[in-house]
C-alpha cells in the first residue's frame, strides 16, 4: 500500500503542477464532441442522438485515455526516472497499481467534464441517469487503465511508442468497449442496466487487472 | 576478504552488436573502482548490468554476495545506489519531495527526516522547496547523489557524474565522492576524467570494444599509467 500511495501521490502532484495530461486529454475529447456536433445532420432527432450517444461518448473517452496513458510513462522518461522506478526494491505489481489508479483518477476527471459538455452540446438531460452512467464509465475506465498501463510501460522505451500503444491496446479493448457502449446506450435511453454487459465488464476488468499486475514485473525491464 | 562485486565473463549483446565481451571484475568492500574507456566502450552498459537495470547475455555476477537472480528480485535491489547519466529525478517535484518519494519507494523509516538530513549534507537545504526543473546541472547532480544515498546502499554506481559540470562544480563533486568513499562504501565510477579517477579510485579498468584492455591497482593510481592505458584503449581495434 505504501508504494501504491507513493506513486499515486507523485503522479497526481506532478500532474497538478504541469497539467500536461489533463489539458491534452480534455482539449482532444472536447474537440471530438464538437466535431460530432457539427457532423450530425441538421434535424437529427433527440431519440436518434440518445441512441448513438453511448458510442460517440466512448470514442471521445478511449482516445482521451490513450493520450493520458501515453503521457503517463512518457513523463517517466524525462531524466530517466523510469530507471529509478525499476531500481526500487519493491513489488513492481504495486508500481503498476499506483500508475493505473493515477491514470484512472485523471481519466475520470476528464470523462466527467466531457459528459457534461456532451449533454450541453446535444441538449440531453442525463441528470437522472448520472449515478448509473458513472458506475458503467468507472467499470470501463478500470479496464482501459489496467491493460493500458501495462501496454504503455511496454511501449515507452520503443521508438514508436505513440503508435505502438494504440496498436496494442485497441484490440484488447474490444470486450471492454462492447460492454461499455451497450450499457451506456441503454442507460442513456432511460432503460434498465443490461446486467450481462455489466457482468462482462466485471469479468474482463478482473482478468486484465490480475494479468497486468503479474506481467508488469517484466514490463519495466529493458 | 568480502567482495562487493564479483563478475565473470559478463557479455551483453544488442542483436548482432556485442557491447560487452567477457568482462571479469572483482572489487573488495570499501574500495572504489574506476571504469575508463572511449565512447562506445561498454562502460554505461556494464554499469546498468551491475545496477540490475539490464540483463547480461552471458556471464555471472554477484553483488555483495547476492547472485544475479536475487538482484533482480525486489529486496536485493536496495544494495545498490545508482547515479546515472540522467538524474532520475522528477522535474515537477521539489528537491524535498523527490527525496521523500524515493525514501518511500525504498521503504526508509521517517522519509521526511531522511530527506531533510540528505539535503543538508549536500548543501541543498536552502532549495528544498524549489522544483527540480529550475535547478542548475550541479545542483541536480548533488540531488541525484542524495537520491542514491537515501537508503544507505552498500555499493554506489556513478555513470559519468562530472559530465556537464564546470571545473569548480566538478571539484566540489569529487570532494563529496571522496567523502563517500572514505565512509567505507564501495563504489564504481564510470568517467572520462582521468585526474578524477586517479584521485578517487583505488583500482581502475580500461574498457575498449567491450573488453578490459588494462587494469591498474593500488592505493593511489598513477595518472600517467591511466593515461597510457586510456590512449592504448582509444587506439584499440575490435
Assess B90–A contact: CB distance below 8 Å, yes or no: yes
Per DSSP (E only), the strands in B120-185 are 155-159
Residue A172 has pLDDT above 60, yes or no: yes
pLDDT higher than 70, residue B218: no
Give residue B124's pLDDT: 87
b/e code B46-79 from CB counts within 10 Å (16+ = b): bbbbbbbbbebeebebbbbebebebbeeeebbbb
Phi, psi (degrees; rounded to nearest 5) at B40: 80, 10
Task: Please give the full DSSP string across B198-222, using - where no structure is assigned.
Answer: HHH-SEEEEEETTEEEEEEESSS--
**Mean pLDDT calculated for residue range A188-212:** 90
Is B157 in a helix, a strand, or coil?
strand
In this structure, are strands B3-14 and B17-28 parallel, antiparallel, or unpaired? Answer: antiparallel
pLDDT computed for residue B1 by the predictor: 60
The ipTM is 0.85
* CA atoms of B199 and A133, how far apart (whole Å): 67
The residues, any chain, with a CB within 8 Å of residue A194's CB and separated by 6 or more, are A182, A183, A186
B-chain CB neighbours of A74 within 8 Å are none
CB-based contact, A217 to chain B, within 8 Å? no
- Residues of chain A with pLDDT > 70, as a percent, come to 100
Residues near B138 by beta carbon (within 8 Å), at least 6 away in sequence: B165, B166, B169, B172, B173
User: Which of A3, A80, A222 comes nearest B105 by C-beta?
Assistant: A3
* Nearest residue in chain A measured CA to CA from B148: A84
In this prediction, residue B193 carries a pLDDT of 77
Interface contact A22, partner B, CB < 8 A: no
Cell of A141: 475506465
Of A3, A13, A80, the CB nearest to B84: A80
B48 touches chain A (CB under 8 A): yes
- Please tell me the predicted confidence (pLDDT) of residue A221: 73
Helix (H, G, I), strand (E, B) or coil at B52: coil
B92 backbone dihedrals φ, ψ, rounded to 5°: -80, -15
**pLDDT tens for each residue of A76-121:** 888 888 888 888 888 888 999 999 999 999 999 999 999 989 888 8
Q: Among B95-99, B195-199, B227-231, which stretch is predicted with the lowest mean pLDDT?
A: B227-231
pLDDT > 90? residue A210: yes
- The region of weakest confidence among A214-218, B94-98, B176-180 is B176-180
* Sheet of B203-208, strands arranged across: B80-83, B155-159, B186-190, B32-36, B203-208, B211-217
Chains A, B: CB pairs < 8 Å: 80
Mean pLDDT of A185-205: 88
Output the average pLDDT for chain B.
83
Beta pairing class for B66-67 and B58-63: antiparallel
Residue with cell 482532444: A28
C-beta atoms of B104 and A3 within 8 A: yes
Residue A80: closest C-alpha in chain B: B88
Residue A116 gets which letter from DSSP? H
Q: Say if residue B220's pLDDT is above 60.
A: no
- The H or E element that residue B7 is part of is strand B3-14
Average pLDDT over residues B139-145: 89
Report which of A195, A175, A51 is spatially closest to residue A132, judged by C-alpha positions.
A195
Has residue B237 got a pLDDT over 60?
no
Distance CA B186, CA B126 (A): 30
What is the tens place of the pLDDT at every residue in A49-64? 777 888 888 999 999 9
- Assign B166 to helix, strand or coil: coil
| Chain A contact present for B92, CB below 8 A | yes
A91 to chain B, any CB pair closer than 8 A? The answer is: yes
Using DSSP's 3-state secondary structure scheme, residue B3 falls into: strand
Q: Which helix (H) or strand (E) holds A9?
A: helix A2-18
Q: Which of B54, B101, B151 sits opposite A222 (nearest CB)?
A: B54
Amino acid at each position: 500500500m505504501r508504494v501504491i500511495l507513493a506513486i499515486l501521490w507523485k503522479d497526481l502532484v506532478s500532474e497538478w503542477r504541469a497539467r500536461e495530461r489533463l489539458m491534452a486529454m480534455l482539449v482532444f475529447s472536447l474537440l471530438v464532441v464538437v466535431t460530432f456536433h457539427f457532423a450530425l445532420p441538421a434535424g437529427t432527432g433527440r431519440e436518434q442522438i440518445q441512441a448513438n450517444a453511448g458510442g460517440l461518448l466512448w470514442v471521445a473517452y478511449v482516445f482521451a485515455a490513450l493520450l493520458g496513458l501515453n503521457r503517463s510513462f512518457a513523463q517517466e522518461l524525462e531524466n530517466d526516472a523510469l530507471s529509478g522506478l525499476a531500481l526500487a526494491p519493491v513489488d513492481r505489481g504495486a508500481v503498476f497499481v499506483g500508475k493505473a489508479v493515477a491514470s484512472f483518477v485523471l481519466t475520470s476527471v476528464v470523462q466527467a467534464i466531457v459528459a457534461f459538455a456532451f449533454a450541453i452540446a446535444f441538449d440531453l438531460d442525463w441528470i437522472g441517469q448520472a449515478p448509473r452512467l458513472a458506475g458503467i464509465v468507472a467499470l470501463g475506465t478500470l479496464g482501459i487503465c489496467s491493460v493500458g498501463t501495462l501496454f504503455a510501460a511496454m511501449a515507452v522505451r520503443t521508438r514508436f511508442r505513440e503508435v505502438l500503444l494504440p496498436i496494442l491496446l485497441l484490440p484488447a479493448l474490444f470486450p471492454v468497449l462492447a460492454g461499455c457502449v451497450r450499457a451506456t446506450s441503454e442507460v442513456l435511453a432511460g432503460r434498465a442496466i443490461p446486467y450481462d454487459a455489466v457482468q462482462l465488464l466485471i469479468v474482463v476488468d478482473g482478468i486484465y487487472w490480475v494479468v497486468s499486475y503479474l506481467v508488469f514485473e517484466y514490463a519495466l525491464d529493458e | 576478504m568480502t567482495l562487493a562485486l564479483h563478475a565473470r565473463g559478463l557479455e551483453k549483446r544488442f542483436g548482432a552488436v556485442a557491447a560487452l565481451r567477457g568482462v571479469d571484475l572483482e572489487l573488495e568492500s570499501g574500495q572504489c573502482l574506476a571504469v575508463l574507456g572511449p565512447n562506445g566502450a561498454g562502460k554505461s552498459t556494464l554499469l546498468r548490468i551491475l545496477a540490475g537495470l539490464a540483463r547480461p547475455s552471458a556471464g555471472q555476477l554477484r553483488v555483495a554476495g547476492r547472485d544475479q537472480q536475487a538482484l533482480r528480485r525486489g529486496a536485493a535491489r536496495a544494495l545498490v545506489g545508482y547515479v546515472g547519466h540522467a538524474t532520475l529525478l522528477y522535474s515537477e517535484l521539489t528537491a524535498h519531495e523527490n527525496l521523500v518519494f524515493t525514501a518511500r519507494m525504498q521503504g526508509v523509516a521517517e522519509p521526511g527526516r531522511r530527506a531533510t538530513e540528505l539535503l543538508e549534507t549536500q548543501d541543498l537545504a536552502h532549495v528544498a522547496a524549489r522544483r527540480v526543473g529550475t535547478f542548475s546541472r550541479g545542483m541536480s547532480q548533488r540531488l541525484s547523489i542524495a537520491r542514491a544515498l537515501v537508503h544507505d546502499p552498500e555499493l554506489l554506481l556513478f555513470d559519468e557524474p562530472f559530465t556537464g559540470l564546470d571545473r569548480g562544480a566538478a571539484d566540489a563533486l569529487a570532494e563529496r565522492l571522496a567523502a563517500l568513499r572514505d565512509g567505507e562504501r564501495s563504489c564504481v565510477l564510470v568517467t572520462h576524467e582521468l585526474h578524477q579517477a586517479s584521485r578517487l579510485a583505488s583500482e581502475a579498468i580500461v574498457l575498449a570494444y567491450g573488453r578490459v584492455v588494462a587494469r591498474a591497482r593500488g592505493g593511489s593510481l598513477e595518472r600517467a599509467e591511466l593515461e597510457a592505458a586510456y590512449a592504448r584503449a582509444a587506439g584499440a581495434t575490435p
